[in-house]
Amino acid sequence: MALIGAIVLSFFLPWPLNLVVLVGGVSLEVGEVIWGLRLARRWRPKSGPETMVGKTAEVVVPCRPNGQVRVNGELWGARCEVGADRGEAVRITSLNELSLGVEPLHPAREHDSRA
């Protein structure tokens, strides 16, 4: 962007200044590209189903041990060894092909069993 501005500005300036403006614009453009490349190397790509591990999901079909959960608006098959009821929040612990391993966020509550 700096280079385009320098080129346009050089048309309106006299001889020695237009060369200085062009050199300055090229320098700024090179600096911007180098800065952008260094910044891009720091960021890791975040894509694929592996990025779901650690996220939370909502149980749609009770997991006893197999069921379904909703993650980011998508339905996934899930397996929860402890068990989780519909509407509970669970954490994704693993990914096995197209099935997610999940565990409840909160420990199971003890139900009062009065006979």
pLDDT tens-digit readout, 25-70: 999 999 999 999 998 888 877 777 778 888 999 999 999 899 999 9
pLDDT of residue 108: 59
Q: State the angle between helix axes of 2-10 and 15-42 in degrees (0 to 180), rounded to the nearest 10.
A: 170
Inter-CA distances, 75 with 47, 60, 69, 85, 109, Å: 18, 8, 6, 16, 26
Q: Which residue segments constitute the domains of the chain, with CATH numbers given?
A: 2-42 (no CATH), 49-104 (2.40.50.140)
The rounded distance, in Å, linking the Cα atoms of 54 and 91 is 6
Predicted local confidence at residue 107, as pLDDT? 67
What confidence score (pLDDT) does residue 109 get? 54
- Letter for the amino acid at 79? R
Show the CA angle centred on residue 51, arms to residues 104 and 80, nearest 5°.
25
Looking at residue 2, its amino acid is A
Q: What is the pTM of this model?
A: 0.54
Average pLDDT (78-97) is 92
Model pLDDT, residue 111: 46
